Amino acid sequence: MEEDKYAKELEVAVRVVHVACALCERVQERLLANDNVLSKDDDSPVTVAGVGVHSNHRVRNIGIVFVSGITPESCFCHCGNVMNDPGWIKSSEIEIFSRSIQFKMSEDFSVQATISWLLSEIFGVQNVSIVAEEDIETISKDESAGLLEAVVNTVNESLALASKYGLQSPETTLGTSEVLEAISRCNSTGGPRGRYWVLDPVDGTLGFVRGDQYAVALALIEDGKVVLGVLGCPNYPVKTEWLNYDYQDHQAAAQSSLVTPDAGGKGCVLYARTGSGEAWLQSLVDGEKMLEWPNRARPIRVSSIDDPALATLCEPVERANSNHSFTAGLAQSVGLRKQPLRVHSMVKYAAIARGDAEIFMKFAKCGYKEKIWDHAAGVVIVEEAGGVVTDAGGRPLDFSKGMYLEGLDRGIIACSGVTLHEKFIGAVYASWDSSNL
Ligand SMILES: Nc1ncnc2c1ncn2[C@@H]1O[C@H](COP(=O)(O)OS(=O)(=O)O)[C@@H](OP(=O)(O)O)[C@H]1O
Ligand SMILES: [Mg+2]
Ligand SMILES: [Mg+2]
Ligand SMILES: [Mg+2]
Protein backbone atom coordinates (compact mmCIF):
# COMPACT_ATOMS: atom_id res chain seq x y z
CA MET A 1 0.00 0.00 0.00
CA GLU A 2 1.26 3.47 -0.85
CA GLU A 3 2.87 5.18 2.09
CA ASP A 4 0.35 7.97 2.44
CA LYS A 5 -2.76 6.33 1.02
CA TYR A 6 -5.68 6.97 3.36
CA ALA A 7 -3.49 9.18 5.56
CA LYS A 8 -5.95 12.06 5.38
CA GLU A 9 -8.94 9.79 5.89
CA LEU A 10 -7.30 8.30 8.98
CA GLU A 11 -6.38 11.67 10.41
CA VAL A 12 -9.95 12.90 9.96
CA ALA A 13 -11.46 9.67 11.27
CA VAL A 14 -9.38 9.87 14.46
CA ARG A 15 -10.48 13.45 15.08
CA VAL A 16 -14.17 12.81 14.46
CA VAL A 17 -14.06 9.83 16.81
CA HIS A 18 -12.53 12.08 19.47
CA VAL A 19 -15.42 14.51 18.97
CA ALA A 20 -17.90 11.62 19.20
CA CYS A 21 -16.28 10.28 22.38
CA ALA A 22 -16.50 13.70 23.99
CA LEU A 23 -20.19 13.73 23.06
CA CYS A 24 -20.68 10.29 24.57
CA GLU A 25 -18.93 11.26 27.76
CA ARG A 26 -21.19 14.27 28.21
CA VAL A 27 -24.33 12.22 27.61
CA GLN A 28 -23.14 9.43 29.89
CA GLU A 29 -22.25 11.89 32.63
CA ARG A 30 -25.80 13.26 32.50
CA LEU A 31 -27.15 9.75 32.55
CA LEU A 32 -25.05 8.73 35.54
CA ALA A 33 -25.68 11.98 37.38
CA ASN A 34 -29.37 11.06 37.50
CA ASP A 35 -28.71 7.74 39.20
CA ASN A 36 -29.72 5.94 36.05
CA VAL A 37 -27.16 3.24 36.61
CA LEU A 38 -27.66 -0.46 36.22
CA SER A 39 -25.68 -3.00 38.14
CA LYS A 40 -23.81 -5.82 36.45
CA ASP A 41 -25.84 -8.59 38.03
CA ASP A 42 -26.28 -11.15 35.29
CA ASP A 43 -28.64 -13.46 37.12
CA SER A 44 -31.55 -11.16 37.65
CA PRO A 45 -35.07 -12.45 37.20
CA VAL A 46 -36.40 -9.98 34.64
CA THR A 47 -35.81 -10.13 30.94
CA VAL A 48 -35.39 -6.85 29.16
CA ALA A 49 -35.35 -6.75 25.45
CA GLY A 50 -35.26 -4.04 22.92
CA VAL A 51 -38.27 -4.20 20.63
CA GLY A 52 -37.42 -3.77 17.02
CA VAL A 53 -39.34 -3.54 13.81
CA HIS A 54 -38.22 -4.73 10.45
CA SER A 55 -37.78 -1.71 8.27
CA ASN A 56 -36.52 -2.40 4.77
CA HIS A 57 -33.52 -4.61 5.27
CA ARG A 58 -32.67 -4.25 8.91
CA VAL A 59 -34.07 -4.71 12.36
CA ARG A 60 -34.45 -1.50 14.31
CA ASN A 61 -34.54 -0.99 18.04
CA ILE A 62 -37.38 1.31 18.83
CA GLY A 63 -38.13 0.74 22.46
CA ILE A 64 -38.09 -1.73 25.26
CA VAL A 65 -40.37 -4.31 26.73
CA PHE A 66 -40.14 -6.07 30.06
CA VAL A 67 -41.21 -9.62 30.47
CA SER A 68 -40.91 -11.32 33.82
CA GLY A 69 -39.75 -14.86 34.16
CA ILE A 70 -38.95 -15.78 30.59
CA THR A 71 -35.65 -16.12 28.87
CA PRO A 72 -34.55 -14.13 25.85
CA GLU A 73 -34.80 -17.32 23.81
CA SER A 74 -38.50 -17.58 24.50
CA CYS A 75 -39.25 -14.00 23.51
CA PHE A 76 -42.01 -13.86 20.97
CA CYS A 77 -42.96 -11.80 17.99
CA HIS A 78 -45.55 -9.20 18.87
CA CYS A 79 -47.60 -7.09 16.45
CA GLY A 80 -45.00 -7.55 13.75
CA ASN A 81 -42.22 -6.54 16.11
CA VAL A 82 -39.34 -8.77 16.95
CA MET A 83 -37.25 -8.96 20.04
CA ASN A 84 -33.71 -7.79 19.63
CA ASP A 85 -30.66 -7.25 21.82
CA PRO A 86 -31.87 -9.10 24.90
CA GLY A 87 -30.21 -8.48 28.21
CA TRP A 88 -30.70 -9.10 31.89
CA ILE A 89 -31.42 -6.66 34.69
CA LYS A 90 -33.12 -6.70 38.09
CA SER A 91 -36.79 -5.80 38.36
CA SER A 92 -35.86 -2.80 40.51
CA GLU A 93 -33.88 -1.49 37.57
CA ILE A 94 -36.67 -1.42 35.01
CA GLU A 95 -37.44 2.25 35.34
CA ILE A 96 -33.77 3.12 35.30
CA PHE A 97 -33.28 1.08 32.16
CA SER A 98 -36.17 2.81 30.50
CA ARG A 99 -34.65 6.24 31.15
CA SER A 100 -31.19 5.03 30.21
CA ILE A 101 -32.28 3.71 26.86
CA GLN A 102 -33.61 7.14 25.95
CA PHE A 103 -30.20 8.63 26.65
CA LYS A 104 -28.63 5.85 24.66
CA MET A 105 -30.83 6.36 21.60
CA SER A 106 -30.22 10.06 21.71
CA GLU A 107 -26.50 9.37 21.87
CA ASP A 108 -26.65 6.92 18.95
CA PHE A 109 -28.33 9.39 16.64
CA SER A 110 -26.26 12.33 17.85
CA VAL A 111 -23.01 10.49 17.15
CA GLN A 112 -24.21 9.45 13.71
CA ALA A 113 -25.35 12.94 12.78
CA THR A 114 -22.15 14.54 14.12
CA ILE A 115 -19.82 12.13 12.33
CA SER A 116 -21.82 12.21 9.11
CA TRP A 117 -21.88 16.03 9.10
CA LEU A 118 -18.14 16.34 9.78
CA LEU A 119 -17.13 13.75 7.16
CA SER A 120 -19.38 15.41 4.59
CA GLU A 121 -17.93 18.84 5.28
CA ILE A 122 -14.40 17.55 4.81
CA PHE A 123 -14.77 15.10 1.94
CA GLY A 124 -17.89 16.55 0.25
CA VAL A 125 -21.44 15.28 0.60
CA GLN A 126 -21.26 13.43 -2.72
CA ASN A 127 -18.21 11.46 -1.56
CA VAL A 128 -19.55 10.29 1.78
CA SER A 129 -21.48 7.09 2.09
CA ILE A 130 -21.97 5.49 5.51
CA VAL A 131 -23.18 2.09 6.67
CA ALA A 132 -24.34 2.68 10.23
CA GLU A 133 -26.35 0.89 12.85
CA GLU A 134 -29.19 3.37 13.31
CA ASP A 135 -31.35 4.60 10.45
CA ILE A 136 -33.44 7.63 9.70
CA GLU A 137 -36.87 6.01 10.00
CA THR A 138 -36.86 5.65 13.77
CA ILE A 139 -36.10 9.27 14.43
CA SER A 140 -38.34 10.67 11.69
CA LYS A 141 -41.52 9.38 13.32
CA ASP A 142 -43.92 11.87 14.92
CA GLU A 143 -43.53 10.19 18.30
CA SER A 144 -39.76 10.75 18.15
CA ALA A 145 -40.07 14.56 18.23
CA GLY A 146 -38.62 14.75 21.75
CA LEU A 147 -35.76 12.49 20.80
CA LEU A 148 -35.04 14.55 17.69
CA GLU A 149 -34.98 17.77 19.67
CA ALA A 150 -32.49 16.28 22.13
CA VAL A 151 -30.36 15.03 19.23
CA VAL A 152 -30.30 18.44 17.50
CA ASN A 153 -29.15 20.07 20.75
CA THR A 154 -26.47 17.48 21.41
CA VAL A 155 -25.18 17.63 17.83
CA ASN A 156 -24.86 21.41 17.98
CA GLU A 157 -23.14 21.24 21.35
CA SER A 158 -20.61 18.76 19.93
CA LEU A 159 -20.00 20.47 16.64
CA ALA A 160 -19.31 23.73 18.46
CA LEU A 161 -16.33 21.95 20.04
CA ALA A 162 -15.10 20.37 16.79
CA SER A 163 -12.66 23.22 16.19
CA LYS A 164 -10.82 22.17 19.35
CA TYR A 165 -9.98 18.96 17.52
CA GLY A 166 -8.73 20.79 14.45
CA LEU A 167 -11.99 20.35 12.57
CA GLN A 168 -14.31 23.00 11.17
CA SER A 169 -17.29 23.86 13.40
CA PRO A 170 -20.43 25.01 11.57
CA GLU A 171 -20.85 28.77 11.15
CA THR A 172 -24.39 28.65 12.48
CA THR A 173 -26.16 26.02 14.52
CA LEU A 174 -27.72 23.18 12.53
CA GLY A 175 -31.49 22.98 12.24
CA THR A 176 -33.62 19.86 12.44
CA SER A 177 -33.59 19.29 8.69
CA GLU A 178 -29.79 19.48 8.48
CA VAL A 179 -29.45 16.98 11.32
CA LEU A 180 -31.95 14.64 9.67
CA GLU A 181 -30.12 15.02 6.38
CA ALA A 182 -26.84 14.06 8.04
CA ILE A 183 -28.48 10.98 9.58
CA SER A 184 -30.05 10.07 6.25
CA ARG A 185 -26.61 9.85 4.66
CA CYS A 186 -26.01 6.81 6.85
CA ASN A 187 -28.06 4.67 4.48
CA SER A 188 -25.40 2.74 2.60
CA THR A 189 -25.75 -1.01 2.59
CA GLY A 190 -22.07 -1.68 1.88
CA GLY A 191 -20.98 -4.34 -0.59
CA PRO A 192 -17.98 -5.31 -2.70
CA ARG A 193 -17.42 -2.06 -4.59
CA GLY A 194 -16.74 1.56 -3.85
CA ARG A 195 -15.78 3.44 -0.75
CA TYR A 196 -17.95 3.66 2.34
CA TRP A 197 -17.56 4.34 6.03
CA VAL A 198 -18.84 1.86 8.60
CA LEU A 199 -20.05 3.27 11.89
CA ASP A 200 -21.32 1.82 15.15
CA PRO A 201 -22.21 5.02 17.02
CA VAL A 202 -22.44 3.25 20.38
CA ASP A 203 -21.29 -0.33 20.53
CA GLY A 204 -22.07 -2.15 23.77
CA THR A 205 -25.55 -0.83 24.52
CA LEU A 206 -25.70 -2.53 27.89
CA GLY A 207 -22.23 -1.35 28.78
CA PHE A 208 -23.29 2.20 28.05
CA VAL A 209 -26.45 2.09 30.16
CA ARG A 210 -24.57 0.38 32.98
CA GLY A 211 -21.93 3.11 33.08
CA ASP A 212 -19.42 0.52 31.93
CA GLN A 213 -17.44 -0.18 28.75
CA TYR A 214 -18.73 0.90 25.35
CA ALA A 215 -17.11 2.06 22.12
CA VAL A 216 -17.54 4.31 19.10
CA ALA A 217 -16.32 2.43 16.05
CA LEU A 218 -15.52 3.91 12.66
CA ALA A 219 -13.89 2.12 9.73
CA LEU A 220 -13.40 2.83 6.06
CA ILE A 221 -13.97 0.10 3.49
CA GLU A 222 -12.81 0.29 -0.11
CA ASP A 223 -13.79 -2.38 -2.61
CA GLY A 224 -14.81 -4.73 0.17
CA LYS A 225 -11.60 -4.41 2.22
CA VAL A 226 -11.27 -2.54 5.50
CA VAL A 227 -8.56 0.08 4.92
CA LEU A 228 -8.56 1.81 8.29
CA GLY A 229 -10.21 1.54 11.67
CA VAL A 230 -10.68 3.82 14.66
CA LEU A 231 -12.06 2.72 18.04
CA GLY A 232 -13.04 5.28 20.64
CA CYS A 233 -13.24 3.75 24.11
CA PRO A 234 -14.46 6.49 26.48
CA ASN A 235 -14.19 4.34 29.61
CA TYR A 236 -11.03 2.38 28.83
CA PRO A 237 -8.18 4.30 30.34
CA VAL A 238 -4.52 3.90 29.66
CA LYS A 239 -4.41 2.23 33.10
CA THR A 240 -5.29 -1.35 32.24
CA GLU A 241 -6.55 -2.32 35.66
CA TRP A 242 -9.67 -0.26 35.02
CA LEU A 243 -10.84 -2.47 32.22
CA ASN A 244 -13.28 -4.38 34.34
CA TYR A 245 -14.36 -1.75 36.79
CA ASP A 246 -17.98 -1.03 37.65
CA TYR A 247 -19.64 2.29 38.11
CA GLN A 248 -18.93 2.50 41.83
CA ASP A 249 -15.22 1.89 41.20
CA HIS A 250 -15.37 4.36 38.39
CA GLN A 251 -16.63 7.06 40.75
CA ALA A 252 -13.88 6.33 43.23
CA ALA A 253 -11.24 6.11 40.55
CA ALA A 254 -12.39 9.31 38.91
CA GLN A 255 -11.59 11.09 42.13
CA SER A 256 -8.30 9.33 42.62
CA SER A 257 -4.89 10.23 41.33
CA LEU A 258 -5.25 7.70 38.50
CA VAL A 259 -6.95 10.32 36.37
CA THR A 260 -4.06 12.62 35.80
CA PRO A 261 -2.49 13.88 32.58
CA ASP A 262 0.27 11.32 33.15
CA ALA A 263 -2.13 8.44 33.51
CA GLY A 264 -3.81 9.73 30.39
CA GLY A 265 -7.39 10.36 31.44
CA LYS A 266 -10.22 7.88 31.54
CA GLY A 267 -10.55 6.88 27.92
CA CYS A 268 -8.60 6.25 24.75
CA VAL A 269 -8.81 6.19 20.98
CA LEU A 270 -7.07 3.39 19.04
CA TYR A 271 -6.45 3.44 15.33
CA ALA A 272 -4.65 1.68 12.50
CA ARG A 273 -4.29 1.72 8.73
CA THR A 274 -4.36 -1.64 6.98
CA GLY A 275 -0.95 -2.83 5.82
CA SER A 276 0.97 -0.31 7.89
CA GLY A 277 2.04 -2.81 10.56
CA GLU A 278 1.35 -0.19 13.19
CA ALA A 279 -1.49 0.56 15.59
CA TRP A 280 -1.71 3.64 17.75
CA LEU A 281 -3.29 4.85 20.97
CA GLN A 282 -4.22 8.35 22.04
CA SER A 283 -5.68 9.42 25.35
CA LEU A 284 -9.06 11.06 25.27
CA VAL A 285 -8.68 14.69 26.13
CA ASP A 286 -11.36 17.02 27.37
CA GLY A 287 -12.06 19.33 24.43
CA GLU A 288 -13.15 22.17 26.64
CA LYS A 289 -9.83 22.11 28.50
CA MET A 290 -7.66 21.23 25.53
CA LEU A 291 -5.26 23.93 24.49
CA GLU A 292 -4.01 22.50 21.26
CA TRP A 293 -4.31 19.57 18.90
CA PRO A 294 -2.56 17.21 17.96
CA ASN A 295 -2.88 14.88 20.83
CA ARG A 296 0.19 12.67 21.21
CA ALA A 297 -0.04 9.05 20.07
CA ARG A 298 1.91 6.02 21.15
CA PRO A 299 2.28 2.71 19.31
CA ILE A 300 0.53 -0.32 20.73
CA ARG A 301 1.38 -3.98 20.34
CA VAL A 302 -0.36 -7.23 21.16
CA SER A 303 0.81 -9.31 24.11
CA SER A 304 3.78 -11.61 23.54
CA ILE A 305 2.30 -14.31 25.80
CA ASP A 306 1.75 -17.54 23.92
CA ASP A 307 1.58 -19.91 26.88
CA PRO A 308 -2.14 -20.71 27.36
CA ALA A 309 -1.65 -21.01 31.11
CA LEU A 310 -0.76 -17.34 31.26
CA ALA A 311 -3.24 -16.10 28.68
CA THR A 312 -6.48 -14.20 29.31
CA LEU A 313 -9.67 -14.78 27.36
CA CYS A 314 -11.91 -11.79 26.74
CA GLU A 315 -15.55 -12.33 25.75
CA PRO A 316 -19.01 -10.69 25.73
CA VAL A 317 -20.68 -10.11 29.08
CA GLU A 318 -24.09 -11.35 27.97
CA ARG A 319 -24.72 -15.04 27.61
CA ALA A 320 -27.30 -14.14 25.00
CA ASN A 321 -24.52 -12.74 22.79
CA SER A 322 -21.96 -15.53 23.04
CA ASN A 323 -22.01 -19.08 24.32
CA HIS A 324 -20.01 -18.93 27.56
CA SER A 325 -20.06 -22.64 28.23
CA PHE A 326 -18.73 -23.46 24.76
CA THR A 327 -15.87 -20.95 25.07
CA ALA A 328 -15.14 -22.23 28.60
CA GLY A 329 -14.78 -25.74 27.16
CA LEU A 330 -12.42 -24.48 24.46
CA ALA A 331 -10.40 -22.50 27.00
CA GLN A 332 -10.06 -25.54 29.23
CA SER A 333 -9.01 -27.84 26.40
CA VAL A 334 -6.35 -25.38 25.27
CA GLY A 335 -5.07 -25.05 28.84
CA LEU A 336 -6.19 -21.60 29.94
CA ARG A 337 -6.20 -21.17 33.70
CA LYS A 338 -7.32 -17.60 34.26
CA GLN A 339 -10.93 -16.49 34.67
CA PRO A 340 -12.34 -14.97 31.46
CA LEU A 341 -12.53 -11.20 31.32
CA ARG A 342 -16.09 -10.30 30.36
CA VAL A 343 -16.23 -6.88 28.78
CA HIS A 344 -18.95 -5.08 26.83
CA SER A 345 -18.40 -3.83 23.29
CA MET A 346 -15.50 -3.67 20.87
CA VAL A 347 -13.32 -2.70 23.81
CA LYS A 348 -12.55 -6.45 23.66
CA TYR A 349 -10.67 -5.88 20.38
CA ALA A 350 -8.95 -2.90 22.01
CA ALA A 351 -7.88 -5.11 24.92
CA ILE A 352 -6.22 -7.58 22.53
CA ALA A 353 -4.54 -4.84 20.50
CA ARG A 354 -3.19 -3.18 23.65
CA GLY A 355 -1.86 -6.44 25.05
CA ASP A 356 -4.27 -6.53 28.01
CA ALA A 357 -5.70 -9.91 26.97
CA GLU A 358 -4.63 -12.58 24.50
CA ILE A 359 -7.84 -14.09 23.13
CA PHE A 360 -11.26 -12.73 22.16
CA MET A 361 -13.94 -15.18 21.13
CA LYS A 362 -17.57 -14.69 20.23
CA PHE A 363 -19.88 -17.57 19.35
CA ALA A 364 -23.35 -16.17 18.78
CA LYS A 365 -26.42 -18.35 18.65
CA CYS A 366 -27.12 -20.17 15.45
CA GLY A 367 -29.06 -17.85 13.15
CA TYR A 368 -27.61 -14.60 14.48
CA LYS A 369 -25.78 -12.70 11.74
CA GLU A 370 -22.82 -10.59 12.83
CA LYS A 371 -22.87 -7.03 11.50
CA ILE A 372 -19.85 -5.41 9.87
CA TRP A 373 -19.97 -2.35 12.15
CA ASP A 374 -19.45 -4.58 15.21
CA HIS A 375 -16.07 -5.80 13.91
CA ALA A 376 -14.51 -3.76 11.07
CA ALA A 377 -12.57 -1.22 13.16
CA GLY A 378 -11.56 -3.76 15.81
CA VAL A 379 -10.24 -6.31 13.33
CA VAL A 380 -7.86 -3.95 11.53
CA ILE A 381 -6.53 -2.55 14.81
CA VAL A 382 -5.83 -6.02 16.23
CA GLU A 383 -4.21 -7.20 12.98
CA GLU A 384 -1.98 -4.16 12.63
CA ALA A 385 -0.98 -4.46 16.30
CA GLY A 386 0.31 -7.94 15.44
CA GLY A 387 -2.72 -10.14 16.16
CA VAL A 388 -4.72 -12.63 14.11
CA VAL A 389 -8.50 -12.50 13.56
CA THR A 390 -10.50 -15.15 11.71
CA ASP A 391 -13.74 -17.04 11.89
CA ALA A 392 -13.76 -20.41 13.62
CA GLY A 393 -12.74 -22.09 10.37
CA GLY A 394 -9.58 -20.00 10.26
CA ARG A 395 -10.73 -17.76 7.41
CA PRO A 396 -10.48 -13.96 7.43
CA LEU A 397 -13.76 -12.10 8.02
CA ASP A 398 -15.40 -10.99 4.78
CA PHE A 399 -16.58 -7.37 4.91
CA SER A 400 -17.56 -7.23 1.25
CA LYS A 401 -21.00 -8.82 1.39
CA GLY A 402 -23.13 -5.95 2.68
CA MET A 403 -24.16 -5.19 6.23
CA TYR A 404 -23.53 -8.68 7.53
CA LEU A 405 -20.44 -10.86 7.82
CA GLU A 406 -21.96 -13.36 5.41
CA GLY A 407 -20.40 -16.78 5.34
CA LEU A 408 -18.94 -16.47 8.82
CA ASP A 409 -17.98 -19.94 9.97
CA ARG A 410 -19.55 -20.36 13.45
CA GLY A 411 -17.78 -17.66 15.45
CA ILE A 412 -14.95 -15.19 15.72
CA ILE A 413 -11.52 -15.90 17.19
CA ALA A 414 -9.04 -13.06 17.67
CA CYS A 415 -5.66 -13.83 19.21
CA SER A 416 -2.48 -11.99 20.03
CA GLY A 417 -0.46 -14.40 17.90
CA VAL A 418 -0.54 -17.46 15.64
CA THR A 419 0.43 -19.98 18.32
CA LEU A 420 -2.64 -19.36 20.46
CA HIS A 421 -4.80 -18.88 17.39
CA GLU A 422 -3.90 -22.26 15.92
CA LYS A 423 -4.59 -23.93 19.27
CA PHE A 424 -8.07 -22.42 19.47
CA ILE A 425 -8.94 -23.23 15.86
CA GLY A 426 -7.83 -26.80 16.56
CA ALA A 427 -9.92 -26.91 19.72
CA VAL A 428 -13.02 -25.80 17.81
CA TYR A 429 -12.51 -28.61 15.29
CA ALA A 430 -12.09 -31.10 18.10
CA SER A 431 -15.13 -30.07 20.10
CA TRP A 432 -17.66 -28.71 17.63
CA ASP A 433 -19.55 -31.90 16.93
CA SER A 434 -20.17 -32.53 20.60
CA SER A 435 -21.31 -28.93 21.22
CA ASN A 436 -24.93 -27.84 21.07
CA LEU A 437 -24.24 -24.96 18.71
N1 LIG B 1 -28.36 -12.12 20.17
C2 LIG B 1 -27.18 -11.62 19.85
N3 LIG B 1 -26.14 -12.43 19.61
C4 LIG B 1 -24.96 -11.94 19.30
N5 LIG B 1 -24.68 -10.62 19.22
C6 LIG B 1 -25.68 -9.77 19.44
C7 LIG B 1 -26.97 -10.22 19.78
N8 LIG B 1 -27.76 -9.13 19.95
C9 LIG B 1 -26.98 -8.06 19.71
N10 LIG B 1 -25.73 -8.43 19.40
C11 LIG B 1 -24.60 -7.59 19.02
O12 LIG B 1 -23.62 -7.61 20.01
C13 LIG B 1 -23.15 -6.29 20.19
C14 LIG B 1 -22.68 -6.12 21.59
O15 LIG B 1 -21.72 -7.10 21.77
P16 LIG B 1 -21.00 -7.19 23.12
O17 LIG B 1 -19.82 -8.07 22.92
O18 LIG B 1 -20.75 -5.81 23.63
O19 LIG B 1 -22.04 -7.90 24.08
S20 LIG B 1 -22.06 -7.87 25.64
O21 LIG B 1 -22.82 -6.69 26.07
O22 LIG B 1 -20.68 -7.82 26.16
O23 LIG B 1 -22.68 -9.14 25.99
C24 LIG B 1 -24.32 -5.41 19.90
O25 LIG B 1 -23.85 -4.16 19.45
P26 LIG B 1 -24.65 -2.83 19.90
O27 LIG B 1 -26.06 -2.98 19.43
O28 LIG B 1 -23.91 -1.76 19.15
O29 LIG B 1 -24.52 -2.71 21.39
C30 LIG B 1 -25.06 -6.17 18.85
O31 LIG B 1 -24.73 -5.76 17.56
MG1 LIG C 1 -22.48 -2.83 18.07
MG1 LIG D 1 -24.48 0.11 18.53
MG1 LIG E 1 -27.79 -2.20 18.87
SS3 letters for the chain? CCCCCCHHHHHHHHHHHHHHHHHHHHHHHHHHHCCCCCCCCCCCCEEEEEEEEEECCEEEEEEEEEEECCCHHHCCCECCEEEEEEEEECHHHHHHHHHHHHHHHHHHHHHHHHHHHHHHHHHCHHHCCEEECCCHHHHHCHHHHHHHHHHHHHHHHHHHCHHHHCCCCCCCCCCHHHHHHHHHCCECCCCCCCEEEEEEEEECHHHHHCCCCCEEEEEEEECCEEEEEEEEECCCCCCHHHCCCCHHHHHHHHHCCCCCCCCCCCCEEEEEECCCCCEEEEECCCCCCCCCCCCCCEEECCCCCCCHHHCCEEECCCCCCCCHHHHHHHHHHHCCCCCCEECCCCHHHHHHHHCCCCEEEECCCCCCCCEHHHCHHHHHHHHHCCCEEEECCCCCCCCCCCCECCCCCCCEEEECCHHHHHHHHHHHHHHCCCCCC
In order of 136, 216, 317, 343, the CA distances from 110 in angstroms are 12, 12, 26, 24
Q: At what angle do helices 94-123 and 176-184 cross, to 10 degrees?
A: 80
Q: In this prediction, does ipTM exceed 0.95? A: yes
Confidence check: pLDDT of 428 > 50: yes
Q: Is the dihedral of CA 281, 187, 379, 6 positive or negative?
A: negative
Give me the mean pLDDT over the 131-147 stretch. Answer: 89
Q: Please, are residues 98 and 64 in contact by the beta-carbon 8 Å criterion?
A: yes
More confident residue, 382 or 264: 382
Contacting residues for 220 by C-beta, under 8 A, at least 6 apart: 6, 9, 13, 195, 196, 197, 198, 226, 227, 228, 229
More confident residue, 434 or 407: 407
Question: Is 371's C-beta closer than 6 angstroms to any atom of ligand 1?
Answer: yes
* Ligand 4 geometric centre to CA of 138 (Å): 13
Nearest CA owner, ligand 1 atom 15? 345
- Output the pLDDT for position 46: 36
Question: Is 111's C-beta closer than 6 angstroms to any atom of ligand 1?
Answer: no
Probe ligand 1: pick from 317, 321, 437, max atoms within 8 Å of CB?
321
Q: What is the pLDDT of residues 328-353, one digit of tens each?
A: 999 999 999 999 999 999 999 999 99
Confidence check: pLDDT of 248 > 50: no
Question: Is 317's C-beta closer than 6 angstroms to any atom of ligand 1?
Answer: yes
With cut-offs at 50, 70 and 90, classify the pLDDT of residue 265. Answer: low
Give me the mean pLDDT over the 27-38 stretch. Answer: 67
Which of 60-64, 81-85, 398-402 ranks highest by mean pLDDT? 398-402
- Output the pLDDT for position 43: 36
With cut-offs at 50, 70 and 90, classify the pLDDT of residue 91. Answer: low
What burial letters (b/e) apply to 142-176, b meaning 16+ CB within 10 Å?
eebeebbebbbebbbbbbebbebbebebbeeebee
Spatial distance between the Cα atoms of 164 and 293, rounded to a whole number of angstroms: 7
Give me the mean pLDDT over the 214-224 stretch. Answer: 98
With cut-offs at 50, 70 and 90, classify the pLDDT of residue 232. Answer: very high
Task: Verify whether residue 327 is a known catalytic residue.
Answer: no
* 351-355, 367-371, 432-436: the lowest-pLDDT one: 432-436
State CA 200 to chain mean position distance: 6
- Output the pLDDT for position 340: 95
Contacting residues for 273 by C-beta, under 8 A, at least 6 apart: 1, 6, 7, 10, 227, 228, 380, 384
Confidence check: pLDDT of 205 > 60: yes
Give me the mean pLDDT over the 233-244 stretch. Answer: 76
Of 108, 135, 212, 391, which is the active-site residue? 108
Confidence check: pLDDT of 310 > 50: yes
Confidence check: pLDDT of 246 > 70: no
Q: Which residues pair with 412 in a beta bridge?
A: 362, 391
Give me the mean pLDDT over the 67-92 stretch. Answer: 35
Confidence check: pLDDT of 2 > 50: yes
- Output the pLDDT for position 100: 72
- Burial class of residue 116, CB neighbours in 10 A (0-12, 13-18, 19+): buried
Question: Is 321's C-beta closer than 6 angstroms to any atom of ligand 1?
Answer: yes
More confident residue, 248 or 220: 220
Average pLDDT of the residues of the chain: 82
CA atoms within 13 A on the CB side of 358: 24
With cut-offs at 50, 70 and 90, classify the pLDDT of residue 138. Answer: confident
With cut-offs at 50, 70 and 90, classify the pLDDT of residue 243. Answer: low
Question: Is 200's C-beta closer than 6 angstroms to any atom of ligand 1?
Answer: yes
Confidence check: pLDDT of 260 > 50: no
Of 114, 138, 205, 312, which is the active-site residue? 205
In order of 195, 333, 426, 435, the CA distances from 429 in angstroms are 36, 12, 5, 11
Confidence check: pLDDT of 431 > 90: no
- Output the pLDDT for position 104: 82
Confidence check: pLDDT of 281 > 80: yes
Task: Verify whether residue 42 is a known catalytic residue.
Answer: no
- Output the pLDDT for position 29: 80
